[in-house]
């Protein structure tokens, strides 16, 4: 069957943190679109940082 390669890294923790932060910001301020954009931006940044850390630790 089609099995994923062992090199794939999941970004689930980063996405959960970004989603919670975006929702918390949106609920606190009432600016829902800004909360969505904040969650997306934070998710991308955290994923890039996590990928860099994982790549560095594999060396």
Q: Predicted confidence band at 11 (pLDDT cuts at 50, 70, 90)?
A: confident
Phi/psi for 9 (5° steps) reads -110, 135
Q: Is the pLDDT of residue 28 over 70?
A: yes
Each domain of the chain, given as residue ranges in start order, spans 12-58
Distance CA 39, CA 52 (A): 20
**Each residue of 14-26: pLDDT tens digit?**
999 999 999 999 9
Can you give the pLDDT at residue 59? 76
- Higher per-residue pLDDT: 3 or 52: 52
Q: What mean pLDDT value characterizes the chain? A: 88
């Amino acid at each position: 069957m089609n099995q994923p390669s062992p090199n794939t890294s999941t970004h689930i923790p980063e996405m959960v943190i970004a989603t919670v932060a975006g929702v918390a910001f949106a609920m606190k301020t009432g600016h829902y679109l800004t909360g969505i954009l904040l969650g997306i931006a934070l998710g991308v940044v955290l994923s890039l940082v996590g990928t860099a850390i994982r790549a560095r630790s594999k060396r």
